[in-house]
Structure 1
Amino acid sequence: MAPPELLLGLGLALLGAGMGHGEAPPPEAPPIWCYSRLEEAEGGGACSEPLGEEPLPLADCCLNPAYGYRLRPQGHCRACSPGAWGPWEPWSRCSVTCEEGTQRRGRSRAPGGGHGGDSTEWQLRACDTGCCPVPGGWSPWSPWGLCSVTCGEGSQRRQRSCSEPPPRCGGSCGPGDSEDTRGCQGTTATCPAPVHWGPWSPWSPCSRPWGDISCRSAVGQQRRTRECVGHSPGGAACPTDGRDGIAQFRACYNIQNCIMPGNWSDWSHWGLCTPPCGASPTRSRSRECLPILPEYTLTVPNVGSGGVSNVSFWGAARARCPPLMGQRLRLEETRPCRNVRPCPQPEEV
């Protein structure tokens, strides 16, 4: 192998011979420190055996690809041989969000070959992310629909669609609704009351078709009725469970105005102060003379069906109690109220 000095001289001669007459010399690179021995290692290398004590042009040093160099005397050692390319990076995102754009990827090469540093290679390719959203247009409103009721207050609706033109590629019609609602009035301002049962009438007097049963242990019958309110011929009827319809009947004993022995009730609770304010309001309680009902049978068999029915007492009996503080029917006790607030004064007009 020729000595380093001879290779350097040969490199300079070749550079000079390759330069034509009158041609401008290429721009000179900064001088470097050249080494004839390079021990490569992970992350870099170690240079030894320098070629001279002065810096040389990079091209002269790297005529031998086995040499190494430094950009500074104590700098990082670099190889003159071409570095190997690394793997390609993943493709970048498409440059646009719709229609056609581009993607790129790169790879790097380690320092070497006289390049003076890292180098990167790029690739470019076309990409298509689909069509761009195109907005649509609202169609005209449909006519208003029928009112939701035939009487009273209701509502009606109308619709439109996003179809003139229809949107493309995920577009929309923008602000607005596809349905609109407004209030409306039925054909009549007020609605008739729904068909329903009216209240029951009072029970009729307790009686039976033959003979007087007043103050006797003879069972009679009472009747009460009610009306179907709002029913019209051919219209809806009032609901019924088959038992409670227009009329009801019950078994009874007639004790109207019957004279009976009685007992005094317990005292009632004290009532409220009357009047509720002022100088001398009072409250009261009372006892009543209540009749002792006769020991009649309280159930009777049902006619034409199994089971029994309860028997009610009808009428107001005339009770007779032993005199109590001179009273025979009702005893009342009154006392004054305490700590009663005065009545508010009327406001002056």
Structure 2
Amino acid sequence: MAPIFLLLQAVVGAFLFLYFPESEAVLCYENSDQGVGTCPDDAYLGDGVTDIECCWNIKYSYKTDATSPCQACRPAKWSAWSEWSPCTVSCKEGIEIRRRSCIGQGDCDGDAIEVQACSLQSCCPENGGWSGWSSWSQCSVTCERGTMERTRECNNPPPECGGTCPGTKKEVAPCDTQQICPTHGSWGSWGSWGACSGACITEGSAIFPNQVRQRSCNNPTPSTNPPGNPCTGDKQEIQDCKTLPFCPVHGGWGEWKKVSECSVTCGLGRVGEERVCNNPAPKHGGRGCPGSPIRHILCNTKTECPIDGEWSEWQDWSDCQLLGEDIRCKKRAGIQSRKRECLGTNYGGKWCETPYREGRNCYNVEKCIIRTTRWSEWSPWSLCSASCGVSERTRQRVCEPIYQDYPDTVTTATKVSEVFFHGTPRFQCQPINNEKLKVVETIPCQNVPKC
């Protein structure tokens, strides 16, 4: 077991050397948003530590400075795919795009963008035409100037597929009755309250000064010819000043006091501190204490965090054999196996669960001549090949061998197992368009934006 542990230490050390060849001071965060690769503000631990110390816990992330991008400590992985973008056209066929980001230390295998065809509706809107205008309506007032209007309908012809008629349905024009209207008086807005007769009151006093506000009959002023009605009601209001302030006392903070221990037992964590606004406490409208009553400061355990192992990809299946017997091209089942490795365990982390080796029954058909074949059904259309410029999609049919008289399963004393075919046989189908193994169709994607 000791040699395996030393080997894993070497693997982790190589990982740290590859992605942190020269350590530097960083801003350290407890975690990162795995979907978009950002460092949340509420996860900030502090600065004054190196990138290697911060990444003792591979769930953490860091920035080299406040404006630099967030870097996750763990090995690189793809984020989840984004939602599909809106279709490039609102009618007929276009394309839509989705993307993902490679977050972490290193590179990710695969594509960061996918494109597929889309159609929001099968037809495009066509505008209609207006009918003739109706007659003008009567004037909206019986004196002085008003308005009159006329309308028309969007039915000559009606629009199709969600179209409209350009222009307005209603037209308004001024009209003059040649009659003068009387103007009735109305109050203007109340003016501001005047100053109180005193600047402040003593706490507990029952005597209040008063203040006055006024308004004018000028919104509008009543006319004289023809005569308009005057304003009704009072032009002045008086009220007591019951809310005069006491002299304010502004608050001041007390001392910081520790309220929690370090939040972690490995890597970097936080220690909580609190303070109270009581030196003095605010009173009579005085300002409260600025800032937060709670803060968290960095604590360093000087201890690496455990790293649990992760399985590597499965290795290729071994050759299909049966105790040294030649079973190639025979209807006799053999055995093949494959294995994988548990990588990355360090600092007391957990070893990988589930088996590291698996086997299966097989037929060895390497270079065997298979005379019975068939063409597959057409595959689904592929995604579009590009997000701009020339873009196309394809589908295909492939020639498939038919393994006659090969049993699908093999029975042992304890169970019935499926049997797999291993190797590359020799075969071909009746030609389609002079092709004997694969037929491909290609069509262009429509309405793709220019690059």
TM-score w.r.t. structure 1 length?
A: 0.43
Kindly name which structure, 1 or 2, has the bigger radius of gyration based on alpha carbons. Answer: 1
For normalisation by structure 2, the TM-score amounts to 0.34
